[in-house]
Every structure is written in C-alpha cells, then in structure tokens.
Amino acid sequence: MLREILQAYKFVHNLFMHFYQTKHRQKPDELTIVDATLGDGGYSYNLFFRALESQAVTRSKHLLYSFDWDKNAIDFVSFKYVTLIKGIYSCDVGCHTVDFKKGLELGPSRTPPWYVVHSNFAWIDAFFQQVPAKNVFFIVADLGMSTRQLKSGRGFSFKTNTKLDLRMSQDFLEPKGYDILNVLSLKELRDLFVNTVGFSKNVANYLAKLIIQERKQTPFGTQKDVKRIEYLAKKLVHRFPRTFAKKSHLHPSTLILMGLRIAVNSEYKNLRAFLERSYKLLAVPGAVVLVTFHSGERKIVEEFIRQNVSQFYIVKPRDSEIKENPYARSAKMYVLLK
C-alpha cells in the first residue's frame, strides 16, 4: 500500500500547510512525521524522501521518527540506511518504566532528521513527552509482521519446523507462545481463542482440551511445535467440519497460530492504546493511517472511529498490487483525519 500511503501523506501535508498558513499567516518552522512500525524500513525510507521534497518546497524543517519494538528491525534499518539516519533512541532495558535514552548520534548534517526509536508504539505519548515534537501531522502504522520476522524462525510461519516463540520483540516480552500453551488453564485457553480469532465457545473449548491432552504427553517448546499445531487443527476440522468449510475462512492452523501470536504480543491492547494516544498527539489537520490485515484489527479500528473520528476514508489494495504481492489481498487501509 506504499503508493496509497504516499498519496495520503501528500494530501494531509498540503492540508496542514494550507490551514497553518491561513491561521498563523506564516509557514510552520517544524513538522513531524511518525512511522510507528519501521519493519524493514520501506515506508520510512519513502517517507524520508517525501519529507525531503516537502522540506525543499516549503522550507519548513521536517523530522521523521520511526518506531519498532523489535531490536532486529532497529539494527537492520540503522545499518542499511546508516547515511540517512541521524540517531537512535531506546527505552531502558526491559522498558518497564518508559524512560528513553538517546543512543547513537550519527551526525548533525542529515536532513531531514530521521530518528529510529526502539519502543512499543503504545508508548508513543511517553516518548513525545520526553522528546517534544512540533506539529505531528502524519502518523502511520503498518500492522502485522515484517518479511524478516516471518523468516526469523520464531514460529510465525508454517514453513519452518521450530519452537513457537512468537514474540515480535525479544526484549520486552515474556512469556513465549509455547509457555502459554503449557501453562494456561482450560478456561484461559478457551477465552484466548474466543477473544483473539473469534472462535465460538464450543470450538475454543474443544481446542483447549486438545492442547491440554497434548501437553500432558509432551510439553510444547520443541522443534515439533508447528507440526503439532497442524495436527490439532486437523482434529478440530474433523470435529467441526461445517464451521471450517467456508472458503473465506483462514485455515484453522493459521487461525490457531494467529490467536497465540496476538496473545503473546498483546496486539489488541497495544493497538487500542496506540490509537487513543496517537490520535490525541496529532495536530489539526492531521491523519493517523493504519494498514490492517484481519477482522480483529479492523473491529478495533472501526470501534475507535465510531467513538472518536468524524472524517475518515478506507482504501483497498489495487488488483495489480495483489498480483505482485498476494499477502496484500487481506490489507485494508484506514485514514483517520483530525
């Protein structure tokens, strides 16, 4: 959805400049852009050049902050774009208290300044309390996992035989996916699959029983974890063939893995906090842009829109994009204006 992100950026940037100049009779001296999910750096890199262009035209200084809680993403992007990135912020080890330290300072000459921030995006407000920013007019979050995370051997994909770690951030998160499978009670496991991937109570209860039977034989936390999830999914389909017959459904093994991943990473809790805090932080006019990939995320975004947002629009991926990248099929972008 990169093209649509850049279009939204241009639209909101023009809107902001126009309103600012009408109200203050001058151009803003500084504007701030946030990419809440740096990943492999694709969106940030492109936003950097968009900011560079805008800066040349308006002569207002543009700053870009890119967040990710996965240290691998921070290291990868800082290395890849070392000539562009101005500095790195990270919160204290463990990040239980949100106290940001300015780390590596790469040099004063980079323009527009691009900073990467090793942090949960839910703490966006705490970060900008410590590192004040002016006119935050564009915030984007591309939910889900990066290509490198999918290939990282942490259990995100069925293609590798591996332990179900499932933590996107190795620094901030405990427990891992297999801990959850080994320690949660029947009721807790049932609720997990009801609340994350919307299984009915019946289906979730049966799955929770299967998990408990399995772990009694051998605890989860071995290279066979992914295969065992596929085995449990087969049993689930066998027991509830009609529930899983619909073509539109994701495969049950994908749903089980997704439910565990959402729980391990507290994805819904973080998304709610991020929406509330980023929208509050946003200048007027401005936009928070979200790229979502499944109905659980969309429910949260749409509920937030109903309660807080009067102007928004939705963009679906183009056919040509889906052809190029089948993963984009499930994407839906929300532009929340303020």
Under 8 Å between Cβ of 180 and 264: yes
CB of 121 to ligand SAM, least distance (A): 4
Return contacts of 15-22, CB within 8 angstroms, 24+ apart. Answer: 15/285, 16/135, 16/137, 16/283, 16/285, 16/286, 17/58, 17/60, 19/284, 19/285, 20/135
CB of 254 to ligand SAM, least distance (A): 17
Would you count residue 103 as binding ligand SAM (CB under 6 A)? no
CB of 277 to ligand SAM, least distance (A): 12
Would you count residue 317 as binding ligand SAM (CB under 6 A)? no
Query: What are phi and psi for residue 191, nearest 5 degrees?
Result: -60, -35
Nearer to ligand SAM, 68 or 225 (CB): 68
Nearer to ligand SAM, 42 or 221 (CB): 42
CB of 45 to ligand SAM, least distance (A): 8
* DSSP three-state, residue 141: strand
Answer for which of 6, 10, 15, 42 binds ligand SAM (CB under 6 A) is 42
Answer for which of 32, 78, 120, 196 binds ligand SAM (CB under 6 A) is 120
CB of 103 to ligand SAM, least distance (A): 17
Nearer to ligand SAM, 37 or 60 (CB): 37
Nearer to ligand SAM, 240 or 268 (CB): 268
Footprint (CB under 6 A) of ligand SAM, residues 181-240:
none
**DSSP H helices in the chain:** 2-24, 42-58, 71-80, 124-130, 147-150, 177-183, 186-197, 201-217, 225-239, 252-264, 267-281, 295-308, 319-324
CA atoms of 273 and 277, how far apart (whole Å): 6
Beta bridge partners of 36: none
Taking each helix axis as running N to C, give the angle between helix 225-239 and helix 201-217, from 0 to 180 degrees, rounded to the nearest 10.
140
Stretch that binds ligand SAM, among 41-49, 159-167, 218-226, 233-241 (CB under 6 A): 41-49
Would you count residue 39 as binding ligand SAM (CB under 6 A)? yes
What is the size of the binding site for ligand SAM (CB under 6 A)? 21
One character per residue 254-273, x = contact with ligand SAM (rule: CB under 6 A): ----------------x---
Footprint (CB under 6 A) of ligand SAM, residues 148-177:
149, 168
Answer for which of 9, 16, 115, 121 binds ligand SAM (CB under 6 A) is 121
Would you count residue 68 as binding ligand SAM (CB under 6 A)? yes
Closest to 68 in 3D by CA, of 141, 155, 164, 157: 141
Would you count residue 330 as binding ligand SAM (CB under 6 A)? no
What is residue 224's DSSP assignment? Answer: T
Would you count residue 70 as binding ligand SAM (CB under 6 A)? yes
Closest to 207 in 3D by CA, of 153, 330, 196, 245: 196
DSSP-assigned states of every residue in 271-283: HHHHHHHHHHH--
Answer for which of 8, 84, 122, 181 binds ligand SAM (CB under 6 A) is 122
Q: Write out the residues near ligand SAM by the rule CB under 6 A.
A: 37, 39-43, 67-70, 73, 120-122, 142, 144-146, 149, 168, 270
